[in-house]
A and B are shown apart, each in its own frame.
Chain A
């Protein structure tokens, strides 16, 4: 029955493809597929509605910073130091920090963050009524990053990238700087069931679990800052010839197959990779920054401050180059079960100047309005003392975090905890709400940003989440 030459000769096919119905149909399908395969190369996608922020820098304060010593001022707690907590054996522990109102807005910040308070109080949008589901590090850390503590789910960064793509094709769209090796490790920047292209690229070694770090004296795992980014055994000239040969051979195959997105995509990705090799080392080279900038961040200070300063500066360089989502994990623990006053002061000292510098730097470059800076730990700490009396325990029921830039209301404190800072009571904001809000700021509707996996539409906020409208600038 079917007597047409089969398969059609290349000439017939091309002829029919180069005009009329066939061509249009083919072109449209090819475009469709190219878009699909291009999606693998992360082109910019339009958001659901106009975005307030184009990129995110997430400053992750692993361990759970004490909110009642930093951003949540509780006069009642100060007054009732040493009183039993709810009739139990635990005693209330007043903060040893001096709180003051800063900026025109007069938001309360403790003396532990002098740079931030002095220069950026009016940029900060503090949420004092955060809460999360569990007071246990690994679960809360996973929930902060993926919305779920029970299942392996895509991370906030992966979802953002999935929704928006990336403006720079020569760099990964989602970068995480020195993430912890424990606390779920790669799950916290993973893509789970989303395609692998959306997962975060780790730059720098993973931070080791605190206990191991304390015993071994090492803080980071070894390894190059990024894998396979250079080949010391081959010259650029030879590599160029290789890329041309690969493209040439694949092009022959593509012509035979007429339509083969996988081959086409590969030709493109080798070109990109070739360019990435040059771009990444440049972006990572913070020595090229003027001395004044290095000084602003506090590069060269002794201890962990230097390291965190470099991370913050690198974060700016990455978003400036078009990376969509950058996470920075502070190289200091906030898990102050004991010796709270000394250790909290140390953690604040390590992070204060670099963070203030980052905000200043972004502002001076006109980037702060498009860049959402998020500062948060996985939970806060109890208003009562723990154990030997000089520390605070985990508290998931109420804590503080802040955001700046990227379309949030500056100089604003949202919601509140009870008189002691124990529980969020006014306008509580759950992690799901925070996620919904961050996506919203990026122009994404958290209910529409879905991915079909195993026959079900999944989203970052599962079936929860409300955008916190009040904090939108």
Chain B
């Protein structure tokens, strides 16, 4: 027992920190046993790269940081206890330097250990990991030295030493090298049944059908796994289902939603056009540099015909679909907020940098100055955003929409008006205004005479007037002069006035500095021939050119990392939307550079090309089986010794249920529920008769569900859908009873279970024994084991009644096994 405890302790230390360093212990045992655990427990919270805090400029998670110390001087001077501030701090020798703060002093024994450690020269095995630098690089010079702001380099592809047969690609070489370096081995290939399920879900978000699985196994038997995988990958990449899955990944990053969110939350009935644009762009594999340009400046690109013109205008919807404050204090404030949102969303999405942090002060952690920020403000304030929400009492900031070419016959849901009705509405508005003015004048007179003015003009009247006027404006905006409905989209064009913005102190509009900042881009990025913004252009086109320039250190890296994140369950940089100082460092920096350069040079920004390369790697093919020894060394699987398991995301869970039940409708629905039912305050959605209570009620793929901010369809809300007001490169996974209740009691699952049971009946006839197996196969693509059959039989014994089969089907759909991928 005693030895077990000792081993356990050692293990804890190993697990808590850096295994290699600890394993290589010699003179550092004392540090590992007595010092490091105390540092982790008491100090890292405020003094470590991982916590993102370096209070007093001090980092204690590296040897260098510890020796270098913080604002007050070195924390540890090896051999010199007196000069080591750490000792002063933990022994509470100085009243203003008592560490850990607001806590009891550490036990005397511990302080004695620290003294002893320093006296013996402070041996410390902690090497500089990629994650360790001593201070945030907030000035240009140190910023340009920070890994993420340096241009990706071509690194020599490492060679495997021990597993020479394993690698199939350069990617694999980088992976195996790191595994070997850390004393790990890769996992064996997953079984073909598992691989095909993984591939189908990862590329299309749907499971393989039984036939598709059989076909795959057959081609493995005939031509080998490599060929079978390559063929199936190409098929899936060519399928329209691909864009529906990978387009949705982008919609997470694009913070796509069909309403303004925030306090007033008006729906965006035209937002779905951008959604469809994104899905099509992924299906057509529009090179990503072009995709960026279309979204930021599609209105400024040449178009060969009306269809392309429409597509490019819709692309700029990217800039218009963000969360909006429709009830801001002033129009100016609102425009400033829109520009801020556009800067924030686009810099995080495309370059993993939080430029908008510099709105009120220079960025605290990254080399982004207020000038950088306001240089970009100039670009977006020189652009006009069309978000198109109706004016109403909660919305003083109604917006226009962009008109799409009439020649195209695009789907439009607004009702046509007769020309005479258009004229009538116009007249009505004129009359309303006149009447209101009259009432106001009367009320004012009455007030002067000491009578009750509300008889003539009350708050209720004012409100009523606003509603009626708003309603008329709203109706008129939807049709042309002849009353024909307009086809319109959200998006951006150049503003009437083009110009630079001043820096606003503390971000407040009331305090502009005297001089203006020329429109431009964060200075930390150095390009060989940076684009220049002409005087009469906003600069959005140049912003796109700047982002997609081959010298840009971030754009390709950030994208390659996003793709990796989806295929390997975590990013090489885990903080997919923040590559700055406060983000995490890459687990495989050389591989990330390699992939970024491949993406640009080899694949010419083709996302499909990069995906194909990665899913055909040996690394992707690994089994997800648990291996104790590897798990102990790398519990988080940062080095990729196996494929990580993952729970299906919300859309996959819903789509897989529809698929298995045989209910799924794979054609694209026209528009979306929101688009088809028009603009309104989202609070009123529950009253709309044509909108189901769970905002679902369809059998189309989940990517087509309505995405109203703060009011999501149940399935999305419950299974960790991206927060649509934020840029989301990686979704969380939670496991809560509300999810179980959804499977047990929701209308959606009830309906799927019924169809599933019907399907089983029609496939397998009336014999219960066959039902068990058939349902199992449809759900899991394999027959039940003996044990599983026994459990199913037990279920049928304990339930009676005609819907037993349906309840059995419901249970299968509810298993965690069904919604988790190996």
A265 and B735: CB pair below 8 A?
A: yes
Contacting B at CB under 8 A, from A1-48, are 1-2, 6-8, 13, 16-17, 20-22, 24-26, 28-29, 37, 40-41
- Out of B52, B735, B741, which one reaches A266, CB within 8 Å? B735
Contacting B at CB under 8 A, from A64-93, are none
Contacting B at CB under 8 A, from A261-275, are 262-263, 265-267, 269-270, 272-274
Q: B693: which A residues are within 8 A, CB to CB?
A: 222-223
Contacting B at CB under 8 A, from A119-139, are 134, 136-139
Shortest C-beta distance, B45 to chain A (Å), equals: 8
Shortest C-beta distance, A356 to chain B (Å), equals: 31
Q: Mark B575-595, 1 if CB is under 8 A from A, else 0.
A: 101101011100000000000
Shortest C-beta distance, B413 to chain A (Å), equals: 23
Shortest C-beta distance, A337 to chain B (Å), equals: 7
Contacting B at CB under 8 A, from A431-466, are 445, 448, 452, 454-457
Q: B686: which A residues are within 8 A, CB to CB?
A: 205-206, 221-223
| Bound form: Cα–Cα A273–B814 in Å | 13
Shortest C-beta distance, B791 to chain A (Å), equals: 4
| Bound form: Cα–Cα A221–B394 in Å | 18
Which residue on chain B has the smallest CB distance to residue A266? Answer: B816
B726 and A152: CB pair below 8 A?
A: yes
Q: A242: which B residues are within 8 A, CB to CB?
A: 744, 795, 807, 810-811, 814
| Bound form: Cα–Cα A231–B8 in Å | 48
Is A228 part of the binding interface, using a Cβ–Cβ cutoff of 8 Å?
yes
Shortest C-beta distance, B440 to chain A (Å), equals: 12
A250 and B744: CB pair below 8 A?
A: no
| Bound form: Cα–Cα A400–B77 in Å | 54
B735 and A269: CB pair below 8 A?
A: yes
A40 and B735: CB pair below 8 A?
A: yes
Which residue on chain A has the smallest CB distance to residue B392? Answer: A211
| Bound form: Cα–Cα A389–B647 in Å | 61
| Bound form: Cα–Cα A250–B447 in Å | 75
Count how many chain B residues have C-beta atoms less than 8 Å from C-beta atoms of the other chain: 113
Is B26 part of the binding interface, using a Cβ–Cβ cutoff of 8 Å?
no
| Bound form: Cα–Cα A228–B12 in Å | 42
| Bound form: Cα–Cα A354–B809 in Å | 48
Q: A257: which B residues are within 8 A, CB to CB?
A: 625-626, 645
| Bound form: Cα–Cα A377–B631 in Å | 52
Which residue on chain A has the smallest CB distance to residue B186? Answer: A2
| Most chain A beta-carbon contacts within 10 A, residue among B262, B460, B725, B785 | B262
Q: Mark A211-226, 1 if CB is under 8 A from B, else 0.
A: 1101110100111000
Q: B810: which A residues are within 8 A, CB to CB?
A: 242
| Bound form: Cα–Cα A456–B577 in Å | 11
Shortest C-beta distance, B584 to chain A (Å), equals: 7
Is A258 part of the binding interface, using a Cβ–Cβ cutoff of 8 Å?
yes
Which residue on chain A has the smallest CB distance to residue B742? Answer: A228
| Bound form: Cα–Cα A262–B822 in Å | 12
Contacting A at CB under 8 A, from B367-413, are 393-394
| Bound form: Cα–Cα A13–B629 in Å | 10
| Bound form: Cα–Cα A218–B686 in Å | 12
| Bound form: Cα–Cα A200–B723 in Å | 15
Is B346 part of the binding interface, using a Cβ–Cβ cutoff of 8 Å?
no
Q: B631: which A residues are within 8 A, CB to CB?
A: 26, 29, 259
A1 and B162: CB pair below 8 A?
A: yes
| Bound form: Cα–Cα A181–B685 in Å | 10
Q: A445: which B residues are within 8 A, CB to CB?
A: 102
Which residue on chain B has the smallest CB distance to residue A224? Answer: B693
Q: A7: which B residues are within 8 A, CB to CB?
A: 187-188, 623, 625-627
| Bound form: Cα–Cα A100–B379 in Å | 59
Is A276 part of the binding interface, using a Cβ–Cβ cutoff of 8 Å?
yes
Q: B454: which A residues are within 8 A, CB to CB?
A: 338, 388
Q: B29: which A residues are within 8 A, CB to CB?
A: none
A238 and B745: CB pair below 8 A?
A: no
Is B681 part of the binding interface, using a Cβ–Cβ cutoff of 8 Å?
yes
B741 and A277: CB pair below 8 A?
A: yes
Is A472 part of the binding interface, using a Cβ–Cβ cutoff of 8 Å?
no
- Out of B577, B743, B788, which one reaches A249, CB within 8 Å? B788
Q: B337: which A residues are within 8 A, CB to CB?
A: 150
- Which of A105-113, A186-194, A326-334 contacts the other chain? A186-194
Check A24/B4 contact, CB under 8 A, given A16-B628, A208-B683, A215-B467: yes
Is A245 part of the binding interface, using a Cβ–Cβ cutoff of 8 Å?
yes
B583 and A228: CB pair below 8 A?
A: no
Contacting A at CB under 8 A, from B788-813, are 788, 791-792, 794-795, 798-799, 801, 803-804, 807-808, 810-812
A457 and B808: CB pair below 8 A?
A: no
Is A182 part of the binding interface, using a Cβ–Cβ cutoff of 8 Å?
yes
| Bound form: Cα–Cα A448–B811 in Å | 43
Interface size for chain A: under 10, 10 to 19, 20 to 34, or 35 or more residues? 35 or more
Q: A348: which B residues are within 8 A, CB to CB?
A: none
- Out of A196, A231, A237, which one reaches B720, CB within 8 Å? A196
B263 and A29: CB pair below 8 A?
A: no
Is A244 part of the binding interface, using a Cβ–Cβ cutoff of 8 Å?
yes
A269 and B687: CB pair below 8 A?
A: no
- Out of A152, A183, A234, A272, which one reaches B725, CB within 8 Å? A152
A241 and B795: CB pair below 8 A?
A: yes
Q: B262: which A residues are within 8 A, CB to CB?
A: 138, 142, 152, 184, 187
A457 and B736: CB pair below 8 A?
A: no
Contacting A at CB under 8 A, from B439-476, are 443, 447, 453-454, 459-460, 463-464, 467
Check A457/B795 contact, CB under 8 A, given A206-B683, A252-B788: no
| Most chain B beta-carbon contacts within 10 A, residue among A2, A20, A234, A272 | A234
A269 and B580: CB pair below 8 A?
A: no
Shortest C-beta distance, B43 to chain A (Å), equals: 14
Shortest C-beta distance, A329 to chain B (Å), equals: 14
B714 and A28: CB pair below 8 A?
A: no
Is A287 part of the binding interface, using a Cβ–Cβ cutoff of 8 Å?
no
Shortest C-beta distance, A263 to chain B (Å), equals: 4
Shortest C-beta distance, A332 to chain B (Å), equals: 17
Contacting A at CB under 8 A, from B618-642, are 623, 625-628, 631-632, 635
Check A185/B816 contact, CB under 8 A, given A2-B185, A215-B467, A245-B792: no
- Out of A208, A218, A262, which one reaches B647, CB within 8 Å? A262
| Bound form: Cα–Cα A37–B732 in Å | 12
| Bound form: Cα–Cα A212–B684 in Å | 9
Which residue on chain B has the smallest CB distance to residue A267? Answer: B816
B575 and A193: CB pair below 8 A?
A: no
Shortest C-beta distance, B116 to chain A (Å), equals: 28
- Out of B265, B718, B720, B816, which one reaches A182, CB within 8 Å? B265
| Most chain A beta-carbon contacts within 10 A, residue among B7, B736, B801 | B736
Is A98 part of the binding interface, using a Cβ–Cβ cutoff of 8 Å?
no
Is A365 part of the binding interface, using a Cβ–Cβ cutoff of 8 Å?
no
Is A50 part of the binding interface, using a Cβ–Cβ cutoff of 8 Å?
no
Q: A137: which B residues are within 8 A, CB to CB?
A: 263, 327
Q: Mark B23-50, 1 if CB is under 8 A from A, else 0.
A: 0000000000000000000000100000
Which residue on chain A has the smallest CB distance to residue B628? Answer: A22
Contacting A at CB under 8 A, from B564-583, are 575, 577-578, 580, 582-583
Q: A201: which B residues are within 8 A, CB to CB?
A: 738
| Bound form: Cα–Cα A248–B785 in Å | 12
B736 and A196: CB pair below 8 A?
A: yes
Write 10 A-B pairs (CB below 8 A) sorted by A numbering.
A37-B735, A138-B263, A152-B261, A212-B684, A228-B746, A249-B812, A250-B816, A276-B741, A455-B575, A455-B580
**Apart from A152-B261, A187-B262: 4 A-B pairs, beta carbons within 8 A:** A152-B262, A229-B745, A237-B799, A242-B744
Interface set of A (CB-CB < 8 Å, partner B): 1-2, 6-8, 13, 16-17, 20-22, 24-26, 28-29, 37, 40-41, 134, 136-139, 141-142, 150, 152, 169, 172, 181-187, 190, 192-193, 195-197, 201, 205-206, 208-209, 211-212, 214-216, 218, 221-223, 227-231, 233-234, 237-239, 241-242, 244-246, 248-250, 252-253, 257-260, 262-263, 265-267, 269-270, 272-274, 276-277, 337-338, 388-389, 445, 448, 452, 454-457
3 nearest A-B residue pairs (beta carbon): A138-B263, A181-B683, A273-B740
